[in-house]
């Protein structure tokens, strides 16, 4: 494996859990597993992120309406996919849609501490407390509490704040954590296909908190899951 690949994959296994500043750039694109797949395929074809970027943009592989939106979307999706391990990238590129969606959501958790913290702390706690409805106050309280350690949340403009919230809700629906209907804010624990689950466990099982898996269940996992 080329040296650049090793570096990227080593970073991928750790990026996100230890981030100091919240990354809010995810407003450039919702989860879009089908587009993340294109980025993963482009990388696997050449094992070079810059070359993959060039090929995607030159061919408008993401089918963007304008060059500027294509650049923003490619950059955001590439930033997410780069956090993944090689087996995870391979699942994203070639696995069925349910596995692809799970890995796309994993890439979001890895690339944004804001998304990971909100999901693992707020949404997971609500399910554990048998309160399966996401309310506006849940999000507002989270942002208020986190702003003490993350002043960047106070610096963004109201229009950007609204977009962050809107895209986050869209991604939660795409990930199967919120009901599909935009007027239905019921929470549910998403199904993690076996191939995606094993790829997460092999990397770092702590990411399962972002899939609303309780700590007791995470700690009880002893190895790859093979089903029943």
Strand partners, 38: none
pLDDT band, residue 226 (cuts 50/70/90): low
- Geometric angle at alpha carbon 151, from 147 and 152, rounded to 5°: 110
Which 3 state secondary structure label does DSSP give 178? strand
What's the CA gap between 53 and 133, in Å, rounded? 39
Domain boundaries, the chain: 3-174
Q: Please name the fold of domain 3-174.
A: 1.10.3540
What's the CA gap between 152 and 146, in Å, rounded? 10
Structure tokens of 49? 């992120």
pLDDT, residue 16, reads 41
Q: Are 180 and 129 in contact (CB under 8 A)?
A: no
**pLDDT at residue 228 is higher than 70:** no
pLDDT, residue 64, reads 87
What's the CA gap between 168 and 93, in Å, rounded? 23
**pLDDT tens per residue across span 151-174:** 999 999 999 999 999 999 999 999
**pLDDT tens per residue across span 52-62:** 999 999 999 99
**pLDDT at residue 7 is higher than 70:** no
Share of the chain above pLDDT 70, in %: 89
Residues making up the chain, counted from first to last: 228
Query: Any residues with CB less than 8 A from the CB of 42 and at least 6 apart, and which?
Result: 52, 53, 55, 56, 61
pLDDT, residue 29, reads 92
Segment among 13-22, 134-143, 163-172, 179-188 with least mean pLDDT: 13-22
**pLDDT tens per residue across span 168-214:** 999 999 999 999 998 899 999 999 999 999 999 999 999 999 999 99
pLDDT, residue 225, reads 57
Long-range contacts of 181-185 (CB under 8 A, 24+ apart): 185/133, 185/134, 185/135
Look at 210 and 228; give whichever has higher pLDDT: 210
Strand partners, 133: 186
Count the neighbouring beta carbons within 10 Å of the beta carbon of residue 78. Answer: 19
């Amino acid at each position: 494996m080329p040296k650049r690949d090793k570096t990227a994959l080593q970073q991928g296994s750790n990026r996100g859990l230890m981030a100091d500043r919240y990354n809010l750039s995810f407003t450039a694109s919702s989860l879009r597993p089908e587009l993340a797949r294109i980025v993963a395929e482009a990388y696997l074809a050449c094992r070079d992120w810059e070359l993959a970027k060039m090929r995607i943009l030159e061919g408008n592989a993401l089918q963007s309406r304008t060059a500027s939106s294509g650049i923003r979307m490619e950059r955001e999706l590439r930033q997410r996919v780069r956090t993944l391990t090689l087996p995870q990238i391979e699942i994203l590129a070639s696995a069925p849609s349910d596995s692809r969606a799970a890995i796309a959501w994993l890439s979001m958790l890895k690339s944004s501490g804001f998304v990971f913290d909100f999901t693992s702390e707020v949404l997971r706690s609500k399910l554990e407390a048998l309160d399966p409805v996401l309310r506006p106050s849940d999000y507002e309280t989270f942002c208020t509490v986190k702003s003490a350690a993350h002043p960047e949340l106070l610096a963004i403009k109201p229009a950007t704040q609204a977009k962050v919230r809107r895209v986050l809700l869209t991604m939660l629906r795409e990930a199967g954590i919120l009901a599909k209907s935009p007027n239905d804010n019921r929470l549910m624990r998403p199904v993690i296909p076996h191939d995606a689950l094993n790829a997460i466990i092999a990397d770092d099982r702590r990411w399962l908190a972002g899939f609303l898996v309780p700590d007791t269940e995470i700690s009880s996992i002893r190895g790859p899951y093979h089903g029943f």
